[in-house]
Structure 1
Amino acid sequence: MAERAPHPDTPELRARWGSFAWTNVNAEKVREIIGRYPEGRQRSAVMPLLDLAQRQVGQETSTQGWLPLPVMEYVAAQLDMPIIRVLEVATFYMMYNIAPVGRFHVQVCGTTPCMLRGSDDIMDACYARGMKKGHTTADGLWTLSEVECMGNCASAPMVQINDANYEDLTPARLDAVLDALARGEQPKEGTQDPARHTVEPVGALSNLNAMADGNHDYRGEWATAPA
């Protein structure tokens, strides 16, 4: 997101979002979500409701969405929670944007596996397009963030753009993804390596070869370490 501090609470913010309410479709989803939890535990629905609220804001702003303070207050009131408790959740989890973001939120993983496989080059490719970490470009198209591990270590380096993951990136492959998004297209998600389908090894197997065609049990072949 653009910042990890809540967006300032201003009269303009209140004028825009103070009347936030669920759409009819989302109101039905909210009833279903809250109904998953036993009586007295409705506050456990805070995370899915914040996600739903962020997506509704995103639909209204043509972005990934974010959580203005009046929107968080709306969720807090519905769950009979102090607003500070809702704010604690929203500020703790990176999945929630607490400041406005662009149409595409580019989240670059900078954790060790991605770093070792070139995430610095991926960040440089973003910088070369005018992005700045923690900010949104002047045209409102891109917001750039560096995040921690998103679980794609076997296909590093990777970025998450809105809800889509793009893996096995090089600067050229990232440029192709970003160019497609800017044109209004939806590029292929997942690995961008043409030699891979998902995260299977590239080329011939180097070990556990007998597992390629069946569930081979190697345990009898492994030597027991001396006592």
Structure 2
Amino acid sequence: MSALPGSAEGTAVTGLDSTPVDSSPEALADLPPLTEQTRLEAREIMARYPVARSALLPMLHLVQSVQGYVSPEGVTFCAEELRLTKAEVGAVATFYTMYKRRPTGRHLVSVCTNTLCSVLGGQRIMDALSADLGVHHDETAADGSITLEHAECLAACDYAPVVTVDYEFYDQQDVESARELVAALRRGEKPAPTRGAPLTDFKGISRQLAGFSQYEDPYEMAAAVDHHGDYSPTLIGLRLAEERGESAPAMPRTTPSEAPDAGEPAETVAPTGRTGATPGEEAADARVAAADTPAEKAGAAGSHPDAPEPAGRRLPDGRAGTDTPAGQEPGTSGQGPASPPPAAQGPAEAPRTIEGRSTPKRKD
């Protein structure tokens, strides 16, 4: 990786970006306004959720679909509609990389530079496009056509190296094919993605992410959903299995007696009311009785309410010693009585016996 600390590439790789939202006069001069229609659509998004603030993420995409990035006006807009502070909205908008802090180009080109893509040429692609466009990570070409960014894994390792344009996939790229793709985009063309829907632009896909169709024509929307794609790298294992007549082993059928909770005795659900035992003790007794192996039986017995305290957790006088480290009880470090005090007066309580484990008798 060629990134250096403090560089734009380094910011992309580490995720540590303190760049403020762009509120310069130049950025705000030609910014499309957030209209009443935008407000109505925001409220439509809010109505999808039982708690209004859950709508914040798609609402930020809605702002980007209008203005091309999350502007200061967009932050205020979301805060007002959701009754949040601008700090709360800003904290979310600056946490996720899909929300942009300054005006974005007509298309967002993302180059995966994570491990596999980088090894197969992803970093070379990023360096070449950066040189051609005269920009670094998260910067926009002078003609406003392309915003270029590093991407930390595009979840398509079987298609590496991967480039996306407005989150649509262009798979198994190399330096020359990526250069040709970007050159076509700058000419106003929209090359067909390797798979997925036809390419639109960054604002269009932002509207899609907000939960609205970016296609006014229903036929265009249907065509986008059914668009052909090359899925051979992902499906090659399935196709080879079909050719060879191979299949995965059948899953064992689960009978009612083998259900996950079948080993839980009925006593844990409906206590019998046996004299002298609490529901918790009855349930613990039943778990011990239902254990199938010595290890399970020992584990159930160890968690029983009547199980003896582990060594080092009870003091010589019989008091609970939960705050005293083992081996530092009075009498063991020269700071207390060397011999235990006289036994407590009164009738001794009969010890309960747990199946598979007897409770040790206390020595007076």
Does the TM-score normalized on the shorter chain lie above 0.5?
yes
Distance in 2 between residues matched to 1:95 and 1:89, nearest whole Å: 11
Determine whether 1:211 maps to 2:242. Answer: yes
The aligned residue for residue 118 of structure 1 is 121
Deviation at 1:130, TM superposition (A): 3.0
Listed one character per residue, the Cα deviations across residues 64-99 of structure 1 (whole Å, up to 9, x for unaligned) are x11111211111111000111111111111110011
Aligned pair partner of 2:71 in 68, 71, 86? 68
Greater relative CO (CA pairs within 8 A, separation 6+): 1
Q: Structure 1's 206 and 53: CA in aligned 2 closer, same or farther, altered over 3 A?
A: closer
Q: Structure 1's 207 and 14: CA in aligned 2 closer, same or farther, altered over 3 A?
A: closer
Contact 2:130-2:148 within 8 A present in 1 as well = no
Distance in 2 between residues matched to 1:157 and 1:7, nearest whole Å: 31
Aligned pair partner of 2:163 in 159, 163, 188? 159
Q: Structure 1's 182 and 14: CA in aligned 2 closer, same or farther, altered over 3 A?
A: closer
Aligned pair partner of 2:104 in 81, 101, 104? 101
The aligned residue for residue 6 of structure 1 is 20
Aligned pair partner of 1:53 in 54, 63, 74? 63
Deviation at 1:140, TM superposition (A): 2.1
Output the TM-score relative to the length of structure 1: 0.76
Determine whether 1:188 maps to 2:192. Answer: yes
The aligned residue for residue 43 of structure 1 is 53
Contact 1:105-1:161 within 8 A present in 2 as well = yes
Output the TM-score relative to the length of structure 2: 0.49
**Structure 2: 5+ residue runs without aligned partners?**
1-7, 12-16, 196-228, 252-364
Listed one character per residue, the Cα deviations across residues 141-186 of structure 1 (whole Å, up to 9, x for unaligned) are 2222112112111111112222422111011211221122122221
**Structure 1: 5+ residue runs without aligned partners?**
58-64, 221-227
The aligned residue for residue 92 of structure 2 is 89
| SS in structure 1 at match of 2:94 | helix
Aligned pair partner of 1:169 in 170, 173, 177? 173
Determine whether 1:200 maps to 2:206. Answer: no
Q: Structure 1's 79 and 218: CA in aligned 2 closer, same or farther, altered over 3 A?
A: same
- Amino acid of the residue matched to residue 231 of structure 2? T
Deviation at 1:27, TM superposition (A): 3.7
The aligned residue for residue 35 of structure 2 is 22
Moved more, 155-164 or 106-115: 155-164
Deviation at 1:115, TM superposition (A): 0.8
Distance in 2 between residues matched to 1:158 and 1:90, nearest whole Å: 26
- RMSD over aligned CA atoms reads 3.2
Contact 1:131-1:143 within 8 A present in 2 as well = no
Listed one character per residue, the Cα deviations across residues 3-54 of structure 1 (whole Å, up to 9, x for unaligned) are 942234456666766x943352x4443232111111xx10110000000111
